[in-house]
Amino acid sequence: MLKRALDRFLNNLRLHNKFLIMYIFCVIIPLIITDAIVFYSIYTQEYNRRRYEMENIAQSYQNTFTSIVSYDANIASAISANNSLKRFLDTDYESLHEYYSEYYDFVNDSFFQTLTGMRRDKVTVYSDNPTIYNGKYFKRLSAARDLEWYDRFIKSGKSESLIVYYDNQVDARLESRKKIIYVKRFKNVYDSKYDKLVAVEINSSDVQGSLLAVSDDFPMYVCCGNYVAIAKYGDTTTSIEEVESQPHRIPFRHSFNICGTQLDIYMYYDELLLASVISNHLFVVLILLIITLALPVLIMKSIEETIDKRINKLGEAFRGSSTNKFLPISDIEGSDEISTLMESYNRIVTINNELINSLYKDKLKEQENDLARKNAELLALQSQINPHFLFNALESIRMHSILRGEEETAEMVEKLAVMERQNVEWGNDLVTIKKETESIEAYLYLQSYRFGDRLSFDIDIEKDCENLYIPKLTLVTFVENACVHGIESKSSAGWIFVRVYKKDEYLCMEVEDTGGGMSDSEISSLVKSIQNVSIEQIKGKKHVGILNACLRLKLHSENKAEITIDSEVGVGMCVLIRVPLETLIGNKG
């Protein structure tokens, strides 16, 4: 269905449009797809290269940041594990003098000075011992309770945590307000009296300097929660929302975990990668377009003109056939298939102009004669099976019988008249199945006078078959054959069945009898005669009625009627006639 529709569409297109469609679908579209695949491959390779490069840089950022935090975490672990410090913080001091005396002794200890003085990170130890005083290294825990890092540490429920936030209470520049704090709680032991924790405030400037030394290729942001801990190429960016809203850039995110805290590294690169690739190869792209677009158009245009010009000349020559006069083509150019076709046309014209008049007129005359002969044959067939004058004679006999009171004879003549009445309507060999059924009933009624109880019959006609037309006396002929050659040849009682129905787009007509039947050789001879039936074969042959009916059925159904015979000696005979419904008049009504 689709192929036929496409053929109809292409057949209605001019040659120019066909070349255009061929160029678009066979050149332009494949070229676009190929170029798209090439550019996509280049883009994918560049994209993967960038992602791989950024993954390596992000891993280096992670390692650097983890190293810094791990160093401070080790310091905090060493401080929290020091027994001298625990005793110092668990002691209840009687006076300020006693506290400061112990404080200076402990701070000047080489252990504590070494841990707190190796880097610029600020180390502070907090305890809820009420007898200690706030100083540089030690503070009461109450001093931290109002700070954001302490609140977030307590809410986390962890023993250690890395906290990033901005201290907006400090009126200073952004870098000073940025806080990166590692917090670790002292382990509770059985003799510990007070809750203690150590907080290491990591110097963000040192961290940023270490990270910037890793790479300078891409903008980078290290985020913790909603806060930006480190920013490169965006020192005023403070929140994750600002990072994720970078315009015209493609993000890369790398996540890792330190001390139970998730950190995210965001890196960006320019989004217009494909445009930059094309711009870098602009000369090659222009050359490619010229070679693949402009040059093929010029070549195909030249080819189209050479074909179109000669086809138009050939078309003008063929249009001369409308006047029954073909003219040869002059000035044939080239030696391709079109030129060969034009030369063949000239040879045909030479022969055709000599024969066209006589051949055309003779053909018309032959067709007219053939049509007249077929009409005469049909009329001869019709007149052969039923002479029209018989009806008038039968009517005279019926009236005479009535006058003499012979009612039974009159009824028999009347039934015979019913059979003959339709045959006096000249000019039409067709009759409805309903009318044919009336003739069958009349014929079988007459035969019942002859055979008496030896003959029984059943006629079954489907309602929607009654108005279909078949040749006159088709079924009657086969019913007559069933009586004469079937019931008559058998001494016992017999049945005749007539059935008409539709099945599988066919009209099916069956005539079956329970008479004497026919032998296989007789059936074979009869079937062969039916298959090869003609007017010449009917003359002087047996079964002239059946052959006559079969011939008219074939003529009426365009030789598509199928007749099969099944018989067994002593059992009976069945004739099945199948005619395509599409060939029958009345099938649509």
- Residue 466 in any domain: the answer is yes
More confident call, 454 vs 372: 454
State yes or no: pLDDT of 377 exceeds 60.
no
Residues 198 and 336 reside in one and the same domain: no
State yes or no: pLDDT of 6 exceeds 70.
yes
- Residue 392 in any domain: the answer is no
- Residue 162 in any domain: the answer is yes
Instruction: List residues bridging with 503 in a β-sheet.
Output: 506
State yes or no: pLDDT of 497 exceeds 90.
yes
pLDDT mean over 354-364:
65
What pLDDT score was predicted for residue 369?
47
Residues 344 and 243 reside in one and the same domain: no
- Residue 206 in any domain: the answer is yes
What pLDDT score was predicted for residue 140?
92
CATH of the domain at 109: 3.30.450.20
Q: Strand 220-224's sheet: what is its strand order?
A: 227-232, 220-224, 261-270, 249-258
Q: Let me know: does 569 contact 516? Beta carbons within 8 Å.
A: yes
Residues 354 and 459 reside in one and the same domain: no
Domain that residue 138 falls in: 47-270
pLDDT mean over 467-480:
88
DSSP H or E stretch at residue 523: helix 520-531
What's the mean pLDDT when you consider all of the chain?
Answer: 78
DSSP H or E stretch at residue 456: strand 455-461
More confident call, 370 vs 459: 459
Model pLDDT for residues 106-137, shown as the tens digit of each residue: 777 656 666 666 667 888 999 999 999 998 88
pLDDT mean over 20-47:
75
* 13-27, 290-304, 377-391: the lowest-pLDDT one: 377-391
What pLDDT score was predicted for residue 510?
95
What pLDDT score was predicted for residue 376?
42
Task: Say what percent of the chain tops pLDDT 90.
Answer: 14
Helix, strand, coil percentages, rounded to 5, for the chain: 55, 20, 25
- Give the span between the Cα atoms of 64 and 268, in whole angstroms: 20
Residues 229 and 345 reside in one and the same domain: no
Q: What is the three-state SS of 467-516?
A: CCEEECCHHHHHHHHHHHHHHCCCCCCEEEEEEEEEECCEEEEEEEECCC
What pLDDT score was predicted for residue 170?
63
pLDDT mean over 78-85:
84
Residues 82 and 226 reside in one and the same domain: yes
State yes or no: pLDDT of 289 exceeds 80.
no
Residues 198 and 343 reside in one and the same domain: no
Residue 277 pLDDT class (50, 70, 90 cuts): low
What pLDDT score was predicted for residue 49?
80
Model pLDDT for residues 312-348, shown as the tens digit of each residue: 777 777 666 555 566 777 777 777 777 777 777 777 7
Other beta carbons within 10 Å of 182: 27
pLDDT mean over 60-75:
89
- Give the span between the Cα atoms of 587 and 556, in whole angstroms: 14
Residues 250 and 352 reside in one and the same domain: no
State yes or no: pLDDT of 491 exceeds 70.
yes
More confident call, 566 vs 416: 566
What pLDDT score was predicted for residue 586?
75
What pLDDT score was predicted for residue 393?
55
State yes or no: pLDDT of 78 exceeds 80.
yes
State yes or no: pLDDT of 509 exceeds 50.
yes
Model pLDDT for residues 385-422, shown as the tens digit of each residue: 444 445 555 655 666 667 677 766 766 776 666 666 65
- Residue 143 in any domain: the answer is yes
State yes or no: pLDDT of 42 exceeds 50.
yes
Residue 575 has what DSSP assignment? E
Q: Is the dihedral of CA 204, 207, 213, 218 positive or negative?
A: negative
Residue 437 pLDDT class (50, 70, 90 cuts): very high
What pLDDT score was predicted for residue 426?
47
Model pLDDT for residues 150-171, shown as the tens digit of each residue: 998 998 888 899 998 888 776 5
Residue 271 pLDDT class (50, 70, 90 cuts): low
Residues 252 and 344 reside in one and the same domain: no
What pLDDT score was predicted for residue 197?
92
- Residue 364 in any domain: the answer is no
Residues 467 and 324 reside in one and the same domain: no
**What's the domain count of the chain?**
3
State yes or no: pLDDT of 46 exceeds 90.
no
Residues 215 and 330 reside in one and the same domain: no
CATH of the domain at 459: 3.30.565.10
What pLDDT score was predicted for residue 116?
65
Q: Let me know: does 406 contact 440? Beta carbons within 8 Å.
A: no
Model pLDDT for residues 217-261, shown as the tens digit of each residue: 788 888 888 888 888 765 667 777 777 776 656 678 899 998 888
Residues 343 and 460 reside in one and the same domain: no
pLDDT mean over 488-513:
90
Phi-psi label, residue 381: left if phi above 0, alpha if psi -120 to 50, beta otherwise: alpha
Instruction: List residues bridging with 252 in a β-sheet.
Output: 267
With b for 16 or more beta-carbon neighbours within 10 A and e for fewer, the 319-330 pattern comes to eeeeeeebebbe
In the three-class reduction of DSSP (H, G, I as helix; E, B as strand; rest coil), residue 162 is classed as strand
Residues 326 and 464 reside in one and the same domain: no
- Residue 407 in any domain: the answer is no
What pLDDT score was predicted for residue 360?
61
- Residue 153 in any domain: the answer is yes
* 188-192, 220-224, 328-332, 526-530: the lowest-pLDDT one: 188-192
Instruction: List residues bridging with 506 in a β-sheet.
Output: 503, 580
What pLDDT score was predicted for residue 538?
65
State yes or no: pLDDT of 86 exceeds 50.
yes
Other beta carbons within 10 Å of 58: 24
Q: Tokens for 571? A: 């059992």
In the three-class reduction of DSSP (H, G, I as helix; E, B as strand; rest coil), residue 255 is classed as strand
Residue 528 pLDDT class (50, 70, 90 cuts): confident
